Structure 1
């Protein structure tokens, strides 16, 4: 029996995201989304098979306006940086949904289009074979980790403040005190720059990008 078309997937994704924004990811249940839509839980199953399908809809919805075109920056490192900053800007309004983006990175079409742009830049820069694979994984790993860490708590949060006031680990105390002055933007772009410098200086495969 075909599903009824009275509920557009965008409306369903928006309702699920509203639940996440309000109650956190733990609050995302079929019942909660059904209540948000003023319908029964059983009726919701006419539109999605299970929570996994619902989570994919949310991931796609969060990134529906993501610009995945290859930037016009002259340097490949600047192109990759721009692509990463676009993702951060897009998910900034819905930090609770970051784990869903990570979990669905190999299924979400906006994320796959973004990855296609990244590997296009890497290929043009001379990365080939396993070198390109590792470069992409390094960039995705940094992006995911940085977004998740920012969602869990920025450097200026209570955890850093607690370390800054303890006496058992003096070097960590000194580091935490410096961290209190670091903005989320500085943390993200600074870490990304470190990763990009490492990729630029890595030993290339034959035909890969020259070290600089």
Structure 2
């Protein structure tokens, strides 16, 4: 999830709502807190809460009259600001992403293959003409046929990295190194590519589109 400066909820900049959510989490939210934070009367407070509920940012908590952040609300807390993408640019970035996926899957250097890709968010909304980012959920699987073969290749890649000048301050820094190499290749330092694991809860509450395989 990425945000633009023009986005608002009930005329309140979404960046302000994001900052407030991030500041108070994981505390429960009350109408009084909302009213005080955004200087709203009772009617406007109810309107804002109703919209936050309907858009899935908050949900009713077990404690009466209180609300808590949903998975989407938690995602908003860490959302970043970027300039919007037009469709041409977004399509180009996604095409380049898929080319990197093909390279990962065909190059023996990478010990994992990208076995599944699912899109969600604004990029698959047919009514959108510009996008805040490209939300991509992915699944990785090992290329090796056995655990023993994978561990042998994993150790080899770590040794190759050390010979190339990379340092691993501790054993824990070595764990997952070959997977991180794949993630870095997928991301390619592109701030508009937002990567998510297939077990990300956001996939359960939003429309998705599987595009690979």
TM-score greater than 0.5 by the shorter chain:
no
Structure (1 or 2) with the greater strand fraction: 2
The alignment's TM-score, normalised by the length of structure 1, stands at: 0.32
Structure number with the higher helix fraction is 1
